[in-house]
């Protein structure tokens, strides 16, 4: 019974964190709910696939887990084949967050999600501060 409750909590965290990755925190940006739902569903799918594969016996656990990881990545790439590269990367990160939380590492998934959100929000500022400006040669 406790394993079932832990599984439910893992997929709830994965769904929330997967939707949070695609959410735009800017006030002026237009938000598409379909993108948030797709991101959270990919995280839910990945979390449930890995969570269910961890229930197998130890003799075949590695083979089943690796097959579920490959299936999650393949499904994510197939669903996002018509998207641009930035959206594909975000959806792959959402799928990876689902895999991390499906493996039982919820705290690490929260840290990874916050890191991705911070990178998305402040990436332009970071790149501008690091960029090297060439001086004119006279």
In the chain, where the domains are located: 2-130
- Lookup: tokens for 109: 């998934």
Residue 131 pLDDT level (bands cut at 50, 70, 90):
low
Q: Indicate whether this model's pTM tops 0.95.
A: no
Chain centre distance of CA 108: 12
- DSSP character for 59? T
Q: What is the pLDDT of residues 78-118, one digit of tens each?
A: 999 998 888 899 999 999 999 999 888 889 999 999 999 88
């Amino acid at each position: 019974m406790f394993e079932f409750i832990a599984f439910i909590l893992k997929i709830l965290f994965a769904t929330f964190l997967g939707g949070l990755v695609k959410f735009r925190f800017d006030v002026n940006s237009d938000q598409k709910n379909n993108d948030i739902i797709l991101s959270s569903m990919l995280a839910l799918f990945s979390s449930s696939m890995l969570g269910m594969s961890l229930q197998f016996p130890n003799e075949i656990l590695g083979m089943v887990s690796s097959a579920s990881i490959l299936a999650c990545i393949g499904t994510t790439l197939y669903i996002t084949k018509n998207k641009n590269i930035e959206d594909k990367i975000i959806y792959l990160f959402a799928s990876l967050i689902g895999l991390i939380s499906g493996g039982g590492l919820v705290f690490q998934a929260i840290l990874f999600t916050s890191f991705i959100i911070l990178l998305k929000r402040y990436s332009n500022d970071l790149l501008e501060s690091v960029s090297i400006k060439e001086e004119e040669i006279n």
